[in-house]
Structure 1
Amino acid sequence: MSYLLSPLDKCKLTLKNRLVMPPMATSKAEEDGNISNEILNYYDEKSQGGYISLIIIEHSFIGEQGKASERQLSVAEDSVVEGLKKLSDIIHKNGSKAVMQINHAGSAASKNVTGYDPIGPSIICNPRKGVIPREVTKDEIKSIIKNFKDAALRVKKAGFDGVEIHSAHGYLLNQFFSPLTNKRTDEYGGDILGRIKIHLEIIKAVRDAVGDDFPILLRLGACDYMDGGTTIEDSKIASLEFEKSGVDILDISGGFCGYSAPDTLEQGYFSSLTEAIKEVVSVPVILTGGITEVNAAENLLATGKADLVGVGRAVYKDSSWAEKAIKNLK
């Protein structure tokens, strides 16, 4: 029996197999963040045949201040819903399910792109970007929570199968999560429960907006691999709280280390993190990171390292990767 080909059915988001295309920024949107023909053609090509059960759309900004880069997709205005509906329709037509990832870049944003001074939980240099932000106020935190909520509702209206909240790779929610960048002395800082307070408030706001049946995923930068940074022990506590708050699937990646883990070349860079998180939660866990061979994906599932595997760069380079992998297992 192939583990990769087995369906995921004991979950709010049911999937025909365990293969996921993780979010990868393309910079193919229109200048204003609207859907372009380039974007539609790109995801049409990647989802052909429906061999990938779940396509997670690249991180999309919830407000201009949180825009990470030029030609990034937008979920910041009601006017984008019509274009996003075209995207979900194409992926569904090809036989895959689709989730949109929504994000605020925080101190990873550039004033040259957004026109705003970057913000963060504290006046601490972003370890990945070298930017020193202005400390976000409590009123601004309320506004950011509303922006996440409104963006999630747009994702639902555009016909997607779920929404993913981005808290990895050194973006705003990851900045709150990590003790490297969160030195706040109010209720949004301090211990791990303080540092995830904004996450829990966003999850609640999103759930209230989209209803009980709409799947919520959360991408967590589960370890910074830096002195004084986030540890797996932090992430085990956080993951359990996220599950209690209504997250249906956890998507595990790196924190300020980015997309790869130091000192490992094995496929499934973050498998030690997903394995540890699976010990404390009952929701499905996605593992992504350097997986390029179908046998490696199969083995990671068979050994209980994860419930779903994300194959990114291999699919990015070869749109027929999934078709060949699936046919090889049958």
Structure 2
Amino acid sequence: MANLLKPLESKHISLKNRLVMPPMATSKAEEDGKVSKGILDYYKEKSEGGYIALIVIEHSFIMQQGKASNLQLSIADDSVIESLKDLAHIIHKNSSKAVMQLNHAGSAASQEVTGMEVVGPSAVENPRKGNIPKALTKEDIKEIIEAFRQAARRTKEAGFDGVEIHSAHGYLLNQFYSPLSNKRSDEYGGDVLSRIRIHLEVIKAVREEVGEDFPILLRLGAADYMSGGSTVEDAVAACREFEKAGVDILDISGGFNGYIIPGNNEQGYFYPVTEEIKKAVSIPVILTGGITEASAAERLLAEGKADLIGVGRAIYKDSNWARNAVEALK
């Protein structure tokens, strides 16, 4: 059997194959962040036939101050739960698993969108946006951790199969992880283990809320690919701690300024990072990054670069991509 078609049994989740649709923002939500008909139609089309084992829904804001853009999905209050049930149901009907991705944009947010002050780990320029946020107090950090907890509760109540904590692509948790944006001198700044303190507190709060059997994924922007930024060594150290803290699956991306490695466009371009992380942990690792051919996905799995393959843009452009890939490998 082709590697991509092999089922995956992990502690809290069973997947029929190794194909994942990673989160990609559609900007199709209602003005208030609720699920729209456009969102339902989009995920119905993408999950048609159940060829994708796991669909990670686009990032959803956990609180107004962390909203990244207009028409972004919300997981910020209980009023969204009913419409999210419809979304989970549509994907389950097509026999794929569905996970919500929880996010706070931090200094990647803007006052025009949120109507609130922009915040971040430190009052230093955001490498991508160029703005200088207000540094979060420890009290603010506690509120954000609580917002992640409540968002995870809503995810479970809406009937999803798991929750993904977003710490990639220059958003708030990634800002804590990156030495470019985290210049704190308290327990939330310093070496990599201090910079991921907030992650470990979020994981703990989420686990307490959802219980022992509900899958928790974490998406990590593993390396910044910028001078003075986070490194593969940081990622390995961080992922060991995430596993100990109870994360079930690691979803690896990179690039503070977008999911890219400058000058590298080969298929699965984050594999040098996933390969190292995979050696250091025993939980499944998802590899994404420019994968457009089933044969490339198959090769990356065969070479042990990852346990699961995320195909984003190719599925975004062609809703039949997964069907064609699975049929070709049978």
Coarse TM-score class (shorter-chain normalised) = over 0.9
Provide the rounded CA distance (Å) in 1 between the counterparts of 2:220 and 2:261. 14
| 8 Å Cα contact 1:167-1:219 kept in structure 2 | yes
1:245-296 deviations in whole A, cap 9, x for unaligned? 0000000001413111112121001000000100100000000010000000
Flag structure 1 segments of 5+ consecutive residues without an equivalent.
none
Match of 1:250 in 2: 250
Paired letter, 1:17? N
Match of 1:100 in 2: 100
What is the CA RMSD across the aligned residues, in angstroms? 0.6
CA–CA separation in structure 2 for the residues paired with 1:238 and 1:284: 15
Tell me the equivalent position of 1:111: 111
Q: Where do 4+ consecutive residues of structure 1 move more than 4 Å? A: none
Give yes or no for contact 2:249–2:284 (8 Å, CA) kept in 1: yes
Opposite residue 321 of structure 1, the aligned amino acid is W
- Letter in structure 2 aligned against 1:193: L
Q: How many angstroms apart in 2 are the aligned matches of 1:14 and 1:110?
A: 39
Q: For the Cα contact (< 8 Å) 1:220–1:255, is it kept in 2? A: no
Aligned equivalents of 1:68 and 1:5: distance in 2?
35
Could you say what secondary structure the match of 1:46 adopts?
helix
2:81 maps to what in 1? 81
C-alpha contact (below 8 Å) 2:255/2:261 kept by paired residues: no
Q: Does 1:280 align with 2:257?
A: no
Q: Secondary structure at the match of 1:17?
A: coil
Indicate whether 1:148 and 2:148 are aligned. Answer: yes
TM-score using structure 2 length: 0.99
Secondary structure of the structure 2 residue equivalent to 1:217: strand
Partner residue, 1:329:
329
AA aligned opposite 1:41 = D
Q: What is the SS of the residue equivalent to 1:99?
A: strand
Cα distance in structure 1, aligned partners of 2:269 and 2:315 = 17
Other-structure match for 2:41: 41
Partners of 1:236 and 1:324 lie apart in 2 by 34
Q: Distance in 2 between matches of 1:275 and 1:58?
A: 25
Larger deviation, residues 260-269 vs 198-207: 260-269
Cα distance in 1, alignment partners of residues 153 and 56 from structure 2:
17
Deviations 1:67-108 (A, max 9, x none): 000000000000100000000000000010000000000000
Q: Which moved more, 1:123-132 or 1:170-179?
A: 123-132
Specify the SS of the correspondent of 2:60: strand
Within a 5 Å distance, the mapping from 1:134-213 to structure 2 comes to 134-213=134-213
CA apart distance, 1:203: 0.2
Partner SS, residue 296 of structure 2? helix
- Following the alignment from structure 2 to structure 1, what is the Cα–Cα distance between the partners of residues 135 and 24? 28
- Post-superposition Cα deviations, 1:207-262, rounded to whole Å, max 9, x if no partner, equal 00000000000000000011100001011000000000000000000141311111
